Structure 1
Amino acid sequence: MAEHRLFVYGSLKRDGRHHDHMGGARFVAEAETIDGHVLVAQGDYPALGRGEGRVRGELFLVSDALLAELDLFEDCPRLYRRAEITLSDGSRALAYWRPEDC
């Protein structure tokens, strides 16, 4: 079973209201994106978008099965799209983006 690096920035973070959906995920570290990313409002939820700035969040390791569950929870690909992002340390991770920005 593969593990995936997932960058989260909103309600899935450890102190977020929907962190319970991260069952089985392993916290790796606090993380930050490279320049060129902002949080934008998408209805009542934050979404990762392109813009001037950086986004702080958390990095987790998640299984294939959990990633599939999170895709359902995030209504991916309709409400969010899952795509790679570059973090400030130069590493890459998956993240849920506003569809028009990925």
Structure 2
Amino acid sequence: MKAHLVFVYGTLRRGESNHHFLARSQYLGCFETPAEYTLYDLGDYPAVVYGSNAICGEVYSIDDETLNRLDKLEDVPREYRREAIKTPFGVAWIYLYQDSTLLKKTILSGDWCQKA
């Protein structure tokens, strides 16, 4: 079974509604991306696309089964796509949003958990 790293920035973070998907995964630490992305509020969940802001999130070590479950949750390849991003913990997957027509409300802080 191969280990993967994943960078999560929204509902998969600790204390958020979908964190249970990572219950069997190892938390590696917090990470703030380089200023190469923009975070949007879609209501119940966020979206990240390429842009000019840093994004706050968490990095986890996950197994193949968890990666498959996350791909289903994120509706890959329709709603989101996976891309590789460098983190201090190694190269991790990040989920990037695909439909730019729905992106209206920017979260300038880059932190979904501090969006209020």
* TM-score grouping bracket, smaller chain normalisation: 0.7 to 0.9
Q: Which residue of 2 aligns with 1:99?
A: 98
Q: Which residue of 2 aligns with 1:13?
A: 13
Q: Which residue of 1 aligns with 2:78?
A: 78
Q: How many residues align?
A: 100
Whole-angstrom CA distance in 1 between matches of 2:99 and 2:91: 20
1:49-78 per-position Cα deviation (integer Å, ceiling 9, x unaligned)? 111110010000000111001111111111
1:10-48 per-position Cα deviation (integer Å, ceiling 9, x unaligned)? 000011111011121110001111121121234642111
Q: For structure 1, which runs of at least 5 residues remain unmatched after alignment?
A: none
Whole-angstrom CA distance in 2 between matches of 1:63 and 1:90: 16
AA matched with 2:65: A
Whole-angstrom CA distance in 2 between matches of 1:43 and 1:30: 23
Report the TM-score, using the length of structure 2 for normalisation: 0.77
Q: Which residue of 2 aligns with 1:2?
A: 2
Report the TM-score, using the length of structure 1 for normalisation: 0.86
Larger radius of gyration: 2
Taking only aligned residues, the RMSD between alpha carbons, in angstroms, comes to 1.9
- Matches of residues 22-101 of structure 1 in structure 2 within 5 Å? 22-42=22-42, 44-87=44-87, 89=88, 91-99=90-98
